[in-house]
Amino acid sequence: MDISWFIVLSAFIFCIGAAGVMTRRSPLVILLCLELMLNAGNLALIAFSRMVGNVEGQIFALIVMVVAACEVVIGLGIIVAMYRRKLPIDVDDMAELRG
C-alpha cells in the first residue's frame, strides 16, 4: 500500500483531535482528543518506520504511548480532584492564571 494513505489518515485523525481540543470545554473530552493527536503521530511514525525499513520509529511510538499513559493518569487525577472539590468541570472556568 502507498504510504500516503497512512499519512493522510494520520493527518485526519490529528485534525480531529486538534479541533476537539480547541472546541470542547470538558477536560475529559480534551484529554481524549489529545490522545487522538498523539496516536495520529504514532501512526505516522510507524508508517514511516515501515517505509524506511527500521524499527526506530516503532520504538519511538512505544515511548509516546508511555508518555500518553502518564499524561492521562495525571490529567484524570486532576479531573477527579476538580470533581471532588465540586468545581465546575469546564476548562473555560479554570482561567485563574490570567495575567
Partner 1 sequence: MTATSWGWLVLAFPLAGMLVIALGWKVLPDRVAGWIGSAAIGGAFAAAIAMLIDLQDQPEEARSLVDSAWTYASTGGFSVDMSILVDPLSVMMCLIVSGVSFLIHVYSVAYMESDRSYKRFFAYLNFFVFSMLLLVLAANFVLLIVGWAFVGAASYLLISFWYRRSTATKAGIKAFVINVIGDVGLVIGAFLLFDATGALDYAGVFAQVPEAFAHNDGQLVAACLLLLVGAFAKSAQLPLHTWLPDAMEGPTPVSSLIHAATMVTAGVYLIARMHPLFEQAPAAADISAVIGTLTLFVAASIALVMTDLKRAIAYSTMSQIGYMILGVSVFAYSAGMFHLMTHAFFKALLFMGAGSVIAAMANEQSLDKMGGFRKAMPFTYATFTAGALALAGFPLTAGFFSKDEILAYTINRGDWFIALAIVGYITAFMTAVYAFRLVFRVFHGEPCEQARELEGGHLAHAEPFNPATGEAEDTEAGFPGPEHHIAEREGAMKAAMGPLALLAIFAGLVQIPGVTDVIEKFLEPTFAGSHYAHDHPSDSAEYMGMAVGALISIAGILVAARIYLWRPGTSAKLQARFAPLHKLLANKWYFDEAYDYGIVRPMTALGRFGRTVIESAFVQGFLVGGTVGIVRAGSSFARSIQTGEVRAYAAVLLLGLSAIVLYFLIVAS
DSSP string computed for 1-16: --HHHHHHHHHHHHHH
Contact 56, 49 (CB under 8 A): yes
Residue 55 or 94 having the CB closest to partner 1: 94
**Is there binding between residue 97 and partner 1 (CB under 8 A)?**
yes
Q: What character string, x for contact with partner 1 (CB under 8 A) and - otherwise, covers 8-47?
A: ----------x--xxx-x----x-----------------
Cell reading at 23? 472546541
Distance of CA 44 to the CA centre of its chain: 14
Residues that bind partner 1 (CB under 8 A): 18, 21-23, 25, 30, 91-92, 94-99
